[in-house]
Amino acid sequence: MGFTRIDVHAHFLPDFYNDALVEAGQTHPDGMPAIPKWSREAAFAMMDKLQIKAAVLSISSPGVHFGDDLKAKQLARRVNEEGTRLRQAHPGRFGLFALTMLPPWPKACEREHARKITVPQLAGPRLRGLTSRVPNLVVGQS
């Protein structure tokens, strides 16, 4: 496989995340007709077809915050752990942008950045929601 492309916008949707979406009433995220199915095998097949060497995974919209800060933090951690497991199981094929639960973003960034330092397989944090998922918040606004 002499592929050289790297997909830096690859979503993954583990089954437990799909379950959380359904529980939160998010059965048509962003107006989609349904929650997309995702599997490692299907991801590899698509990557091979499009000659993509590696994909940096991140969770899909709408993120993990459905109104409960504690549940969002727990789901973000679980998503990061599953992405890390995939990255470790398939080095060179999957990377991971760690999900930072918003709000409260400053503490979340510090916590997940510290975790990135101790889990070197993470490519870095992905700040889910800075543009459209946090009501009344604009990037750079203090």
pLDDT tens per residue, range 111-129: 666 665 555 555 555 544 4
Q: What is the pLDDT of residue 11?
A: 93
- Tell me the H-state helices in 27-89: 40-49, 69-89
Helix (H, G, I), strand (E, B) or coil at 52: strand
Instruction: Provide the domain count of the chain.
Output: 1
Q: What is the pLDDT of residue 135?
A: 45
Residue 137, in any domain of the structure: no
What's this model's pTM, rounded to 2 decimal places? 0.73
CATH number at 90 reads 3.20.20.140
Residue 141, in any domain of the structure: no
Residue 142, in any domain of the structure: no
Sign of the alpha-carbon torsion through 124, 128, 134, 139: positive
- Residue 22 domain boundaries: 5-127
Residue ranges in the chain whose pLDDT is less than 50: 127-139, 141-142
Residue 138, in any domain of the structure: no
Strands 5-12 and 52-59: what pairing?
parallel
